[in-house]
Amino acid sequence: MSRIKEFNLPDLGEGLTEGEILSWLVKVGDTIELNQPIVEVETAKAAVEIPAKWAGVVTRIFAEAGTTVEVGAPIVAIDTDPSAGALPEPSADSLAAVEVAPAEGAVEPGMIGGPAPGGRTAVLVGYGPKTTSAKRRPRMGTPAGSPTATTPAPSPTAPVSAPPAASAPPTAPVSAPPAVSAPPTASVSAPPAVSAPPTAGRALAKPPVRKLARDLGVDLGTLTGTGPLGSVTRDDVQRAAARTEAVVVAPPTAAPAAFDAAREQRIPVKGVRKLTAENMVASAFSAPHVTEFLTVDVTRTMKALERLKGRPEFRDLRISPLLLVAKAVLLAIKRHPMINSTWLGATNEIVVKDYVNLGIAAATERGLIVPNVKDAGRLTLRELAEALNALVQTAKSGRTPPSDMAAGTFSITNVGVFGVDTGTPILPPGESAILAFGAIRPTPWVHKDKIKVRQVTTLALSFDHRIVDGELGSKFLRDVGAFLADPEGALLAWT
């Protein structure tokens, strides 16, 4: 059994078919342990760290950061028995003969996929560095004695000095004479017989780095590489591009404004953003949405929140109005369980859930995600506060696992943190309602027959009109508002 094992990209859950390599946590030559995180991968659900399946030494990384890899494709090779000594050198017969790649796609000598002795390409782990210059195969149809890539043929229009008559039969074809046979003043077009090595004067860089340089308009020949063997790295290219962008050249005053790709930015739609877009389109055009609004005086909620912060049970926790909004939703769902259900068109059923997996919409660098607190209705207020804090922190770090975003039953989107009064949210797939919680603002309000400045917010409830009719939606929204208007009274009356 081979000691070199290839680790394939696993299925990270719910039928995902591919993932993008965000970053490698190890490099070739590193010794790793079983279950040690080795790579960070972004799927359509979230960014996750994948642990090693075996302990050993990393011998090869198949996919660079930024590459999208299909599930089941190899991403890393691991020597599972490094104590057994050095890996055997592969024989020449075990390598497939290939034509040397052209200059544009060249790879560093000695690297996997790079040029190897005899014009072959190193395809096995442990293959050593290049020791001789590679030669191109003759082009199809070229006579065996014709000049090769290492001995360029003279131009057909260039004057060539003929050899002495006695040195060749009269009918033999005349080849270009050696460079030393030409007189000092002879005019010939053939280059010197001895050419520079293929890599002379040319920066070493991997194909992804060369592509990055082309995309950014960076000349690799002007860079000094900081990588192995003086190779140019991605960081080298990006630093050079940044220096170029720092030089601002004013356009000619007479030139008309251009509206083209030079003034546009293209963002690939992938990962979380792609899945969110697909889900929102599917939801918007499958569930008939209705949205209702309610403006509420939440002055008492804000006072109750301040009292909670002063209690010993909550002093070590960061709590916000969202905690009491979540509690209001959970208690209102107990009073109106139909709001916490799913429409199953395939079987013509409505599935009413006796549990609440409470989703909280979170904006992250990779797009909007809606992780949920499992069985939130069974949690105490302290436990709910802890769960909400953990959910938000995990989402901001980009480490939310796919399981935390599955099986949601009701969601809250807190648009108030952005200073927005309210919105008309779209339902997450499979849910029948979602509540938008707007900004809390000091507002003139009629309180006890007098106009006073009170803390006021606007709630918006979007629901699936196939399940939730206007009466049910209105009663649910009314109860959420009643709790926020007097949380302590509602707790005493409803629990």
Cβ(201)–Cβ(225) below 8 Å: no
Residues of 263-287 as b/e, b for ≥16 C-beta within 10 angstroms?
eeeeeeebbbbebbeebeeebeeeb
Query: Using CA atoms, how far apart are residues 234 and 232, in angstroms rounded to an integer?
Result: 7
**364 by DSSP, 3-state: which?**
strand
Cβ(406)–Cβ(429) below 8 Å: no
Cβ(67)–Cβ(23) below 8 Å: no
DSSP characters over 37-96: EEEEEE-SS-EEEEE-SS-EEEEEE-S-TT-EEETTSEEEEEES-GGG-SPPPPPGGGSP
289 a catalytic residue? no
Q: Residue 274 is encoded by which pair of tokens?
A: 């792609």
Give the phi and the psi of residue 103 in degrees, each rounded to 5: -55, -35
**450 by DSSP, 3-state: which?**
strand
Contacts of residues 388-392 at CB distance under 8 Å and 24 or more positions apart, as own/partner, are 388/322, 388/323, 388/326, 388/360, 389/317, 389/318, 391/360, 391/362, 392/360, 392/362
Cβ(342)–Cβ(334) below 8 Å: no
Running DSSP on this structure, what letter comes out for residue 449? T
Residues with Cβ within 8 Å of 377's Cβ and at least 6 positions away in sequence, in order, are 330, 333, 334, 355, 356, 358
Integer angstrom CA distances of residue 92 from 119, 120, 137, 254, 341: 11, 9, 17, 64, 66
Sign of CA dihedral 377, 378, 381, 386: negative
Ramachandran sector of residue 494 (left: φ over 0; alpha: ψ -120 to 50; beta: rest): alpha
Residues with Cβ within 8 Å of 303's Cβ and at least 6 positions away in sequence, in order, are none
Question: Which residue is catalytic, options 289, 336, 447, 465?
Answer: 465
Residues of 76-91 as b/e, b for ≥16 C-beta within 10 angstroms?
bbbbeeeeeeeeeebe
Beta-bridged to residue 447, according to DSSP, are 450
Strands 358-360, 410-413: pairing is parallel
**391 by DSSP, 3-state: which?**
helix
Q: Which of the residues are catalytic?
A: 465
